[in-house]
Structure 1
């Protein structure tokens, strides 16, 4: 049991991008589908992430726990890729 709880996890760690299902970026294939195809990224969707002010006004996602926002889907994808390059999970 302890080995299962505290043992090494199999496989490499992946970057995590989380979308709020209420945000337009969640349903935008220009962002969601592109990220889902990357081997180094796990894409998830959740309910409210408690960033309602950002979510109401911008396309946004949480990248490794950090909010990233933009005015368009294309710009959001660029900012997410920049954040993944600057602060990757290792």
Structure 2
């Protein structure tokens, strides 16, 4: 299963657009734009994305990208641990 990263169209600032475009180059990711992700309070305050349905934020675009990558790694690790239990 490929990780899905979603961005709210209302929060596509130049730095977030750059992140989105960088992530779109990764064939292991699904990257989507959505008209509204339903997190308006977060959206108004800070750059954010949804990674497999979980909110990921950053104080700026650079931190957001780092946090997105960390969230993907953690979710994959958690999934791998779950498979090990089976």
Note whether the superposition's TM-score is higher than 0.5: yes
Which TM-score applies when normalising by structure 2? 0.81
What RMSD in Å do the two structures reach over aligned CA positions? Answer: 1.8
Relative to structure 1, is the Cα distance of residues 73 and 44 closer, same or farther in structure 2, using a 3 angstrom cutoff? same
Which has the larger helix fraction?
2
Q: Secondary structure at the match of 1:77?
A: helix
- Select the residue among 40, 47, 50 that pairs with 1:52: 40
Q: Secondary structure at the match of 2:10?
A: coil
- How many equivalent residue pairs? 77
Which TM-score applies when normalising by structure 1? 0.77
Q: Which has the larger radius of gyration?
A: 1
- Gapped regions of structure 1 (runs ≥ 5): 1-12
- Gapped regions of structure 2 (runs ≥ 5): 81-86
The equivalent of 1:3 in structure 2 is: none
